[in-house]
Amino acid sequence: MPVEPKIAATVVLLRECVPHSESDDDCEFEIFMVKRHDNARFMGGHHVFPGGRLEAQDMTPESRARVIGPDKEILNTITGVCSEPSDLWIIAIRELFEETGILIATNDKDHLIELNNDNGAKFKDYQVKLQMDHLTMTDILTKESLYYAANHLKYFGRLITPKISPIRFDTQFFLCKFPQNQSINLFGEELTEGFWGSPREFLKLFRKRKIKIIFPQYSTLKRLKKFKTIQEAFSNSKNGFKVVQVEDFRF
């Protein structure tokens, strides 16, 4: 019997950049990837996008009540993924903060929280407490009168691990523009490094065997390679919406 896939979400951070004048890569944005520890039980040594699986804390009434602005069209489309589709945005935002320190949260719907010299140390402490299960993500948001800013995440698709795999995930992919008033702080127990590059650059590194990725990352990079700007990627994010369930992740 195949293992039942665990519900998960992952976030592709994007930031604007100036194309290299001496390169044929005219992409005007970069994306962020992280490398998992070599001894990790799942995908050790691979480059991935920040993310993780659904946890009990994501499904509480208190958590669901603090979600602002998920795309209603997408909510109606993915009703079969889990009992409450808004949980998927909660997973994505929580995992992104836990792994990178980037917080997609707001107190007024339109603007994300700014992390600066006045509050940066406090939120780094929150990040550590979340990693150690001393606080939930919703505890943190409630303390700071913040909400999950789901309207800042663009749904990009769904991919299910092959049935032959002993560890399986039903993963939802989101795009998110990197907040310029925040900085990355990696979760060192799970991740060894993170770096920015265009989709073409990451695919080139993969072909040269300088990084390891598997099909979900590869297919996401291939889709993003088609776009020149962040706005173009966001505008076309729904066009590629489909459930991808393949027999094998090898390619």
* Residue 240 in this model has a pLDDT that exceeds 70: no
CATH code for the part of the protein at 6-245: 3.90.79.10
Quick one: pLDDT at residue 162?
85
Cα-based distances in Å from 57 to 6, 87, 221, 224: 15, 10, 31, 32
pLDDT band at 124 (very low <50, low <70, confident <90, very high): very high
Query: Mean of the pLDDT values across residues 68-84?
Result: 86
Cα-Cα-Cα-Cα torsion 41, 219, 154, 122, nearest 10 degrees, comes to: 30
Quick one: pLDDT at residue 77?
83
For residue 215, the 8-state DSSP code is H
Q: What is the pLDDT of residues 86-103, one digit of tens each?
A: 999 999 999 999 999 999
Contacts of 128 (CB under 8 A, 6+ apart): none
* Residue 56 in this model has a pLDDT that exceeds 80: yes
Quick one: pLDDT at residue 232?
96
Coil, strand or helix: which one is 25?
A: coil
Quick one: pLDDT at residue 109?
66
Identify the residue with better confidence: 101 or 75.
Answer: 101
Sketch the domain layout of the chain as residue ranges: 6-245
Distance CA 154, CA 37 (A): 28
Least confident of 18-32, 144-158, 165-179: 18-32
Contacts of 33 (CB under 8 A, 6+ apart): 47, 48, 49, 194, 195, 197, 202, 211, 217
- Cβ atoms within 10 A of the Cβ of 93, count? 28
Q: Both tokens of residue 165?
A: 């795999």
pTM of the model: 0.93
Task: State what percent of residues in the chain have pLDDT above 90.
Answer: 71
Q: Which residues pair with 12 in a beta bridge?
A: 175
pLDDT band at 44 (very low <50, low <70, confident <90, very high): confident
Quick one: pLDDT at residue 209?
95
For every residue of 94-128, DSSP letters joined together read HHHHHHH----EESSSSSBPPP-TTTHHHHHHHHH
* Residue 21 in this model has a pLDDT that exceeds 90: no
Distance CA 34, CA 44 (A): 12
Identify the residue with better confidence: 224 or 108.
Answer: 224
Q: What is the pLDDT of residues 196-220, one digit of tens each?
A: 999 999 999 999 999 999 989 999 9
Quick one: pLDDT at residue 245?
53
Decide the pairing of beta strands 6-16 and 169-177: parallel
